[in-house]
Amino acid sequence: MQHQPSRSELLRLPPPSGGPIAKTLYSLLTPPLSKFIGLSEINRIYAHSAVGDTDRFLDMALGTMGIDIALSDEDRARIPAEGPCVVVANHPFGAVEGMILAKVLRQARPDAKLMANYLLALIPEMARIIIQVDPFGTGDSTKKNIGPLKEAMRFLRDGGILGIFPAGEVSSINILKRAITDKEWSPTVGRIIKRTGVPVLPVYFKGSNRALFHLMGLIHPRLRTIMLPREMLKRQNTTIEMRIGQPIPPSQLKGFETDEQLMEYLKLRTYVLRNRDQKEKPRLALPPKASVEIVAPQSREALEAEIAALPREQILVESVDQIVFIARKPQIPNCMEEIGRLREITFREVGEGTGKATDLDRFDDAYWHLAMWSRTDREIMGAYRLGPVDEILRDKGPSGLYTNTLFTLKPRFLESINPGLEMGRSFIQSRYQKSYTSLLMLWKGIGVFVSRNPRYAMLFGPVSISNDYKGFSRELMLRFLSMREAAGLLSKTVKPKTPPKLKPLSLSGLVINSARQVCRDIDDLAALISEVEGDQKGVPVLLRQYLKLGGKLLAFNVDQDFADALDGLILVDLRLTDPKILARYMGKDGAKEFLAHHGIEAEL
């Protein structure tokens, strides 16, 4: 196919180089072949849309083809209003997504350009906004692309926004992965991003070409190329959905050692957008007990009186407005009733909860209860339940540990955590969750308690990943954490009583599998989850907190008595935690005393 200068004819089959017979056959066969391949119809559309001006052409061409763009206002607003930016996108169809990307970017930024192959630049109206590259990997490609790559970097350094399809060719079926996806993204694009130090905006186009297109490609790649015009025509009178992710700042992209790793990460950030609006299978209705009305609140006066009566040493942390205290159940009967009420309210808000009128159980009798009180609001803001393992095993045996209801704990595990503290049933009222101060105060309380009782170097307990997360996000966290944050041989000493069921990897699964390899840390994982979740939440705050302390995952279990919440059993050895982090929660003196108790010297 080649471009002819005629304004009415954009593409035509190349003429033969043979003699008169070949030329005669060419003249006879060109019209039916052009019609069959789709060139005639594309030329007709172009003739109707060739208006000279780029933006008018894009409107006319897409309008003539009857193509609508499905893009939310929220996503559109993510396009930076100014400053340099590289926009990376998947390449599912061929040419039409290039026109759509150009239109959307130029509506927000009239300076927008595309870096694309010269085939798209055959359209005169598109040529003026395209930095042309040769993606076909021939011997001359490297030399041909030197100039365009320099031009692209100049354009970005001058503050432009540049759209790129890093695959360089249309998506195709990958037999080994059993999915239609882009090939590996070009590391050259990674080099441009690194050298210019610009933010990156991921864009995902939903859909793919027909099965016949991909079948022909398996026979020979050129058959796929021949079919591209007809596939473009199949997009007529359809709606093409595109999704725009959060801009990725340069600081988040610096740590990748190679351009290949960077591009694998950006490809992952793009394809994860596929799951953003994934429809969840309707969950089974909660059993009738879930409709039980929650008990009435306790009187503020009764709560204040109990807290005021506590011995001074049980007040762990104080600020102008907040008090963090620790007590046993008999000391604070009214506070315990209120804690049970607030647990149930808070857990139900995220799709968990017992379904009972209050969340209190037999384990509360043997555990310490650490809670935070607001003097101003005169209410309990949040609480933790701490189980002293040495005392519980002595008095009640393994059945006295709440964790034993979710996981089978082998003797070796119990030996490794004794003495230690079982952490659980933590909550912060939703109205206080936006402030990190609330969690910080609770953890300072835990830090002070441990520094005063330094034998408790081991913290462990279930951390929930609630049903408030999409299934994709839950599986992503499970697979990533199982591989990257696992506790090694100690994981063999516990066994979930209801292990989660994982399905074979689909395209979503391939994204998950890639995340396990590409994500460097919990921050990368959180960024992926934020793209998927409608409210842009990342990794659960409490899980992130444990990992920051050096926590390791032992196993995962589905808590059927807690609305099928996914619980990860986490273990933290505070003797291995960064001493500076310990000092943040224990205070410098408390951290020194704790470390000295265990024969550890460290600068704080």
Specify the residue for token string 């470390």: 595
In tens, the pLDDT along 76-88 reads: 999 999 999 999 9
Percent of the chain with pLDDT over 90: 57
Enter the tokens of residue 367: 């555990």
DSSP for 555-582, please give it: EEEEETTTTTEEEEEEEEEGGGS-HHHH
Q: How does residue 103 score in pLDDT terms, banded at 50, 70 and 90?
A: very high
3-class DSSP assignment, residue 379 = strand
Specify the residue for token string 């002070």: 448
In tens, the pLDDT along 395-428 reads: 999 999 999 999 999 999 999 999 999 999 999 9
Amino acid 4: pLDDT: 43
**Cα angle value 108/109/110 (rounded, 5°):** 120
Amino acid 592: pLDDT: 95
What is the Cα 312 distance to its own chain's centre? 45
Q: How does residue 286 score in pLDDT terms, banded at 50, 70 and 90?
A: very low
In 3D space, the residue among 169, 177, 166, 181 whose CA is nearest the CA of residue 274 turns out to be 181
Quick one: 52-275 is in which CATH superfamily?
Glycerol-3-phosphate (1)-acyltransferase (3.40.1130.10)
Q: How does residue 490 score in pLDDT terms, banded at 50, 70 and 90?
A: confident
Q: Who's near 162: CB < 8 A, 6+ residues apart?
A: 85, 86, 87, 112, 113, 114, 115, 131, 152, 155, 156
Amino acid 480: pLDDT: 83
- Residue with the bigger pLDDT between 119 and 463: it is 463
Q: How does residue 289 score in pLDDT terms, banded at 50, 70 and 90?
A: very low
What CATH code is assigned to 292-597? 3.40.630
Amino acid 144: pLDDT: 79
Q: Residue count of the chain, please give it.
A: 604
Least confident of 190-194, 213-217, 325-329: 213-217
In tens, the pLDDT along 555-602 reads: 999 988 777 889 999 999 999 999 999 999 999 999 999 999 999 988
Query: pTM score, two decimals?
Result: 0.79
In tens, the pLDDT along 342-400 reads: 999 999 998 888 899 999 999 999 999 999 999 999 999 999 999 999 999 999 999 99
Q: What is the mean pLDDT of the chain?
A: 86
Q: Where are the domains of the chain?
A: 1-50, 52-275, 292-597
Give the count of alpha carbons within 13 A of 96, CB side only: 33
* CA–CA distance, 401 with 328 (Å, rounded to integer): 16
Q: Is the model's pLDDT at 233 over the cut of 90?
A: no
Q: Is the model's pLDDT at 2 over the cut of 80?
A: no
Amino acid 284: pLDDT: 40
Give the count of alpha carbons within 13 A of 60, CB side only: 16
